Chain A
């Protein structure tokens, strides 16, 4: 065996080539996201947790807006002592990110003084600032809901003329588009207003527990902190409520008939008082709780329940069956709270000293204080607001396709947000001059080329990391948000020595299960799941909760140990490995696999 003192290296960014034939699609990403020679001096890793698939030109706005806001919070708002923001680069549709550590002790000391005045103020005034946050977020959501559907009438409506508005419909397109984009960037600032501080307080308690109880599982600590009535449980709770309503209103008979969501709603509309009452209950559940999407908010094609009712409706027959069998289907909130309290006091009792108990009390109090935000923000940001955002862009896609820019309205997502603005201005111009827009002669070819590039990129594995191997990963943001440590890097470096039948992800919920893998990529495929199957999907989140009763374990491409997937899996006690990156492509449908949710390992058995 040759021995080498030289550590293995990740490939340098400059050695990573754009897949031949996709150069133009690559060039579509903004210049500031392209790798440059100086990037070889830094360490980068592939953000497979949020971006497991090559991202279309428009969807890169999700990275850009998020990192603008995350960096501002770290670097300039709360002034984290040892870290600045996260840089991002895109190659072959994959998003690589790199932290920006502060290492000069004098600079750390200077930032520390700033941090104390800012972050400590947030901790001390958390409840008031969080209440204010929810108001800001609801205002933002209301504003987005009130944006008009983009439209270009042949003539400006007479009423507008008589009112002397003095601004024509084409300008309203630009106004709506810019407000849509502005709102999205603003949403991400709200998203990060509390997030790092929240994770930091949680991890403080987490680290204490790991020191005091070296063998405690991550899941146990999470259970001590997790909220019982968090927003993420509501969508599934609402479905359970609707199932109970269906039985109480005696309209449950309609749910087992294999009707489409549309047919079912029509049938209920015709079924008198009971049907009407149920539909009213459906409406109240939909707004807002069906504003949850089947992803994590980073891809335009992860649609919301509200946009595709087949997903939530698919689970109603099963819930109704359970209600008929006498189950209440209600989460025993009091009992869960009592269990959480018992867990906290049982662990407290095991601490060796009174000093430890005093520190434990302070840290768990702080963790409970911050956690509602950590759990709750995603519903408002990555789900509700993001759905409104993508749907508004979709409306622009519809308008542009009506004017010949695209064959399908969804094609709009192959343009960057800059290109989309130019296409809108092209249309504005054409509408104003009475000439034909030029976009229809430009965009269809571009869309075809980029669609082909995305397909091509998806076939190629991308290295988990690039550049120099750092001695330590001490960037708290990277550790908190991605769970990446020096051990992670070592595992990546020895990637070649690994068992090719093993996939590694984040340990989300403990338990070892063997079973048949079912690759489920869309809602339509849910019915293929048999009792005891292992769900292999891109994202597990609350939208999957209704089928958690049926499956024996879950594996997902996306997600971290604090992701919704993990929280929900723990709530349902379902063994789960999240964030495998490519489980849905490496595991074949029908294969026998073993899921070890405690170690974060999936093994393909045959």
Chain B
């Protein structure tokens, strides 16, 4: 298979490609094509996974064993997971797959060597009912091609974690429909990073956005290891109605040998706001653009590049909690508009 059958660059991809590139990959492509800055990268398509899995199945059956799993039997699931992941990590990548990844990785490193993030992008993940999200692995600060190739296999292996397998079994997903794409993307050395909801997570209000952020990489915020600063911004007005600057004791930074680690934040920075008002307004503009593009509220991960100060989006997916509750209108038109005032003056609504 040609490289383009196995690899897709963000600029070539959109949401319609999700069956081949997964939710995360499709979303990043869609963002880049909508003119939103994302860290450059490519997606290893599900075809590569299929080629690899065919190789794995040749040595010993895999999918059939998952299909036979009883999701309530946790001991068996744990045992099976260990066996399957070992099997995956021990199987060499097919030559065509490793060659395609190597060429794409080299292209990404063309100007200077960069660390990459290797992120699972499951075809069932990031769907509107994304409870499945987050069950697969992401590897940050992957330093070189060898590590990268390893981590791609680890991502594929994460499809066979206990949680993933039992989830699929409980929901009756057919194993031959389950595939995984992998995103390989330049790491952002973030000065500040965090999340943004384009509606209020507290009330569902679509006229405000909530931004949470902390120093360093976003993993500290997403993993709940630091209490982030928090702002609520009027989506339309730009008014900052809530400003909670927290004591941010630690931050995540890249480790020279790859991966990340947690370090203490200096005394002078701990209680300092990690975003300026200008940056908050820039985030607001990006959030509005993304929401408009998708036509619905979004749940976004973002980072501010330490060197350039640019704001980059790492991920955007549809907000699901409040959107599923929407339904009944607050009010309706009435024949005589004066009738509306009875809600204030009392004596019955209609």
Contacts and interface: CB of A to CB of B under 8 A. Distances in A.
A204 B206 contact: no
Nearest to A366: B337
- Size class of the A contact interface (CB-based, 8 Å): 35 or more
B239 A208 contact: no
B345 A359 contact: no
A439 interface: no
Contact of B331 (A112, A116, A120, A208): A208
B330 A220 contact: no
B168 interface: no
Nearest to A345: B236
A120 B337 CA distance: 9
Interface in A336-373: 343, 346-347, 350-353, 355-356, 358-363, 365-366
Contact of A112 (B206, B332, B348): B348
Interface stretch (A43-51, A137-145, A211-219, A301-309): A211-219
B344 A204 contact: yes
Listed residue (B204, B331, B334) with the most chain A CB atoms within 10 angstroms of its CB: B331
What is the predominant secondary structure among interface residues of chain A facing chain B?
helix
B207 A359 contact: no
Contacts, number: 132
A318 B234 CA distance: 34
B177 interface: no
Listed residue (B234, B235, B341, B346) with the most chain A CB atoms within 10 angstroms of its CB: B341
B143 interface: no
B343 A207 contact: yes
A363 B340 contact: yes
Contact of A82 (B239, B241, B337, B347): B347
Given A82-B345, A120-B338, A363-B337, A217 B241 contact: yes
Given A200-B345, A207-B344, A343 B236 contact: yes
A123 B333 contact: no
Interface in A353-402: 353, 355-356, 358-363, 365-366
B241 A510 contact: yes
Contacts of A358: 332-333
Interface residues of B, number: 34
B172 interface: no
Interface in B303-347: 326, 329-334, 336-338, 340-347
Contacts of A220: 234, 236-237, 239
A352 B330 CA distance: 9
Contacts of B338: 116, 119-120, 123-124, 366
A473 interface: no
Interface in A189-236: 197, 200-201, 203-204, 207-208, 211-217, 219-220
Contacts of B332: 355-356, 358-359
Given A81-B346, A365-B337, A476-B346, A346 B330 contact: no
A115 B331 contact: no
B197 to A, nearest CB: 12
A543 B208 CA distance: 35
6 contacts: A124-B338, A200-B345, A213-B206, A346-B236, A350-B236, A476-B346
Given A83-B346, A204-B344, 8 more contacts: A112-B342, A123-B337, A204-B341, A204-B343, A215-B207, A356-B329, A363-B337, A510-B239
